[in-house]
Each structure stands twice: as structure tokens, then as C-alpha cells.
């Protein structure tokens, strides 16, 4: 197979800034990803020190072909600004017409930001809307890559916080019984947490309302627990929304089971909405002193565990430790950043195969990830959140899961992109 020839025109310039969110240690591109982008004909500017919290010094970036630059210069000259978390107000204000913002920008919780950026001609690309059931989009699935890191880390945090051994330990002083761990939710984060807790020697149970998850959980050597509520799977294999009566039944059954566990790891997140409460205050009261809850669903909107506070560790009156850990992937910054950077590279390969950002309204992947472009909010879910009328249907030019052709995805640079090219030059 012949490698693609890098574009001969002005290089697409990708800028990476230091993340400003509290306790955020990840960076949007690691040196290995930078080298791939440079080889493909891109130019990469990195803010000095941006990779240091993840263990990537400036020297590693320059060796990979990046330029270390000041933040104002990056914001002025970058065609693409890659971020990990939703941008702060200063970054939003600095973005200009023709630039593209890519990241886990949390669009459904920041509709005013999307409206503002779109009206100003900034293209916004959100990983939250990657169509996860398309095989060709899997390399772009940052939600899965970061959930995998968070699930692994959750089991480590649980072991660190728990005051006893996780595995059975036979010593001269006697035998320690293994800890009982339950992981609620058998998605990417949950399965990784189950696998890690098993490797640490705990007796692990995986819980999910989708009976189809049984095989995955049991393949990891864990027990499987589910609800008596009928079939909990919805479109694409994800958990469906239950009725109020079903929720009451499911939560009552779960509450009665949880009191027997030493460690609970919860993983339920709902983009744009408050996470469901899975461990109630009364359930916490029924748990043994010294038990631990690690809440991967924790956010500013609430958590899966009653009273959990994002980024903080609290202890109930009954002695149960609750860890608010909604952004736990940040505590595994090197590995999480490496995986995230591959997601960025994959998105750029789809949106800019010939060196310019080109949005194809008939491409199923672009229909998902591109939230706003050329002054128009493109994503259907985002339009609904902003109370905008639906856009006319744009049927994919190719089968939904087939590789897109160059002709379908590269009709030429948009006027907005060209305007920014001229400004930067």
C-alpha cells in the first residue's frame, strides 16, 4: 500500500494549550502523536509546559517536530485548537472565524458556548457525539479511551482508600478474607474496573440492567448481577431509559444487595443530564464502616452516590468513604493522554485528509462529531438542546459503515477556513 503524499499547500497548524481545569493533568497531544501529525504534513505548536503534568517535557515535543510557542501566538495562528476539557471563557473569547475547536467540550452542558462559537464562525468538534456503533469511528472514540483509563484507576483508588487487603492473604498472623467489590455498569469503564479489581484479588461482581452484559462480565471471572426489570438494553446495546416504576423496582433490588459489599464502583454518566443516583443515603447508612464508594459518575450536576462531591473525598457519619471521581482519567495522565492523542489524530484524518478542515454533511461520522460549522449548528442533538428546527436530512453518500472516499470528504476548503488561513499568513 502506497503511503499518502503530504499536502503541498500551507500546512494545517494544530495548536495545543495547557489545560486550565482544576486537577487536570492530561494534554491533548503526546509527542508520539505529534510525530505522526508532522509526518502527515501538519504543523504542531505546543504551549510551553503543556505536557509536563503528564510527563512529556518540551524537549520531547521539539524532538517530535513540534514548535514550542506562547499561548497568544498559538491562539492567533492555529487552524485547529485541540483541548481535553471544555474551554474556559478566555479561550472561548480568543477563538476566531475559521478556526476549529476539537475536544471533550461537553456541548450539551454548555449550549451558550456552542451558540456563541458557531455564530462567530468557529467550527466545534465534540468527541461526545462520536457515533460509537460505526467501526470506522472507533479510533475517534475518546469517551471509550478515557473511560478505560478511569475504570482502571477506579479500582486502584478503591484499593488505596480501603483500609484492608483486597485479596485473600494467608500470613503467620492469620488469614485475611478477600474484599467484596461490586461495579455498577458494565460499559467500558465498568469492565476495566472489574478486570483490575479481579487482578488485585478481590471477589468481584458486575451489575448491569442489560442481561446481554452477562457474558462480558463473566468472561473476566466476575459474578454477574442484574435486575428483575425486563430487558434493559436500548438502541445500539446501551441501557435504555426505564419507566418510573421500573426505576423504583431496580433501585430497591440494588439497594438490598449493596449492603453486603466492601467496595462499590459506580460508572453511570448521562451527557447533558444529571447522573442517576444509584447508591442512596439510606444505602450508605446500611453499609459497614470502612466501606468505600468510588463514584465515576460524579459531576457538578451530582453523582451516582448520594452526597458525592466531584474531586473530593468525604466520609459519612457511619464511616463510609465516598470518592467523587468523575474525571479520574486525569489521574492516569500519561496513558490517558496517549490514548486521547490517537483519537485527535483519527479525527483530523477524517476531517482534514488533504490539509484543510472539510465537513461533509453526508458523512455519518461528520454528522455526529461536528457540532457547529460555517455559522450553523449541525448536530441534531445539539439543535434540539438549543430549540432549533431540525436540519433537512442528509443521506450518507456511502454505506454507514464503509470508508468514505476522498471525493466525498474533500470538496475543497470552506470560505471560513480560507479566511483564517489568510489571516494567519
**Percentage, residues of the chain above pLDDT 70:** 87
First and final CA of the chain: distance in angstroms?
35
How far apart are the C-alpha atoms of 333 and 311, rounded to whole Å? 16
Q: Distance (Å, rounded) from C-alpha 78 to C-alpha 424? A: 8
The mean of the pLDDT values for the chain is 89
pLDDT at 9: 58
User: What are the chain's domains?
Assistant: 13-129+332-424 (3.40.50.720), 148-326 (3.40.50.720)
Size (the chain), residues? 425
* Sheet of strand 321-324, all strands in order from the earlier edge strand to the far edge: 223-225, 203-207, 180-184, 263-266, 292-295, 321-324, 313-315
To 10 degrees, what angle do helices 142-161 and 188-199 make? 40
- Residue 255 has φ and ψ, to the nearest 5°, of -60, -40
pLDDT of res. 292: 98
Tell the burial category of 313 from Cβ atoms under 10 Å away from its Cβ (0-12, 13-18, 19+).
middle
Lowest model confidence (mean pLDDT) among 129-143, 208-222, 229-243, 346-360: 229-243
Look at 57-61, 308-312, 416-420 and tell me which has the smallest mean pLDDT. Answer: 416-420
> Does residue 392 surpass a pLDDT of 90?
no
Phi and psi for 261 in degrees, rounded to 5? -100, 150
What are the two backbone dihedrals, phi and then psi, of residue 317, each rounded to the nearest 5 degrees? -60, -30
pLDDT band at 252 (very low <50, low <70, confident <90, very high): confident
Q: How far apart are CA 303 and CA 23, in angstroms?
A: 18
Whether the predicted pLDDT of 71 surpasses 90: yes
What is the C-alpha to C-alpha distance for residues 272 and 107, in angstroms, rounded to an integer? 8
pTM: 0.88
Q: Can you name the residues that pair with 16 across neighbouring β-strands?
A: 46, 82
Helix, coil or strand: residue 28: coil
pLDDT digits (tens, 9 = 90+) for 143-192: 999 999 999 999 999 999 999 999 999 988 899 999 999 999 999 999 99
Enumerate the active-site residues.
Answer: 132, 138, 141, 144, 238
Amino acid at each position: 500500500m502506497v503511503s499518502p503524499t503530504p499536502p503541498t499547500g500551507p500546512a494545517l497548524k494544530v495548536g495545543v494549550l495547557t489545560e486550565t481545569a482544576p486537577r487536570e493533568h492530561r494534554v491533548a497531544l503526546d509527542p508520539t502523536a505529534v510525530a505522526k501529525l508532522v509526518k502527515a504534513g501538519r504543523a504542531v505548536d505546543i504551549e510551553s509546559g503543556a505536557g509536563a503534568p503528564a510527563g512529556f517535557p518540551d524537549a520531547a515535543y521539539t524532538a517530535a517536530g513540534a514548535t514550542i510557542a506562547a499561548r497568544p501566538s498559538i491562539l492567533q495562528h492555529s487552524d485547529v485548537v485541540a483541548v481535553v476539557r471544555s474551554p474556559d471563557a478566555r479561550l472561548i473569547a480568543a477563538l476566531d472565524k475559521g478556526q476549529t475547536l476539537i475536544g471533550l467540550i461537553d456541548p450539551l452542558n454548555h449550549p451558550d458556548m456552542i451558540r456563541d462559537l458557531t455564530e462567530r464562525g468557529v467550527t466545534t468538534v465534540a468527541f461526545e457525539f462520536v457515533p460509537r456503533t460505526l467501526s470506522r469511528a472507533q479510533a475517534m472514540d475518546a469517551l471509550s479511551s478515557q473511560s478505560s483509563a478511569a475504570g482502571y484507576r477506579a479500582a486502584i483508588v478503591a484499593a488505596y482508600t480501603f483500609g484492608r487487603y483486597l485479596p485473600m492473604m494467608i500470613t503467620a498472623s492469620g488469614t485475611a478474607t478477600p474484599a467484596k467489590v461490586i461495579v455498577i455498569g458494565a460499559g467500558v469503564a465498568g469492565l476495566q474496573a472489574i478486570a483490575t479489581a479481579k487482578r488485585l484479588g478481590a471477589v468481584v461482581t458486575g451489575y448491569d440492567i442489560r442481561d446481554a452484559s452477562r457474558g462480558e462480565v463473566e468472561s473476566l471471572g466476575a459474578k454477574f448481577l442484574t435486575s428483575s426489570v425486563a430487558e434493559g438494553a436500548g438502541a445500539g446495546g446501551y441501557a435504555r431509559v426505564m419507566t418510573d416504576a421500573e426505576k423504583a423496582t431496580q433501585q430497591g433490588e440494588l439497594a438490598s444487595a449493596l449492603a453486603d459489599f466492601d467496595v462499590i464502583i459506580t460508572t453511570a454518566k448521562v451527557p447533558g443530564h444529571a447522573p442517576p443516583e444509584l447508591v442512596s443515603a439510606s444505602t450508605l447508612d446500611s453499609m459497614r464502616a470502612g466501606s468505600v464508594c468510588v463514584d465515576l459518575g460524579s459531576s457538578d450536576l451530582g453523582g451516582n452516590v448520594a452526597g458525592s462531591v466531584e474531586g473530593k473525598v468525604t466520609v459519612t457519619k457511619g464511616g463510609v468513604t465516598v470518592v467523587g471521581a468523575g474525571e479520574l482519567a486525569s489521574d492516569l495522565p500519561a496513558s490517558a493522554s496517549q490514548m486521547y492523542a490517537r483519537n485527535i489524530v483519527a479525527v483530523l484524518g477524517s476531517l482534514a485528509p488533504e490539509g484543510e478542515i472539510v465537513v461533509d454533511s453526508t458523512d455519518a461520522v461528520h454528522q455526529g462529531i461536528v457540532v457547529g460549522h460555517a455559522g450553523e449548528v449541525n448536530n441534531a442533538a445539539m439543535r434540539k438542546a438549543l430549540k432549533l428546527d431540525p436540519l433537512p436530512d442528509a443521506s450518507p453518500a456511502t454505506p454507514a459503515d464503509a470508508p468514505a472516499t476522498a471525493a466525498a470528504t474533500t470538496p475543497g476548503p470552506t470560505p471560513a477556513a480560507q479566511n483564517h488561513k489568510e489571516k494567519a499568513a
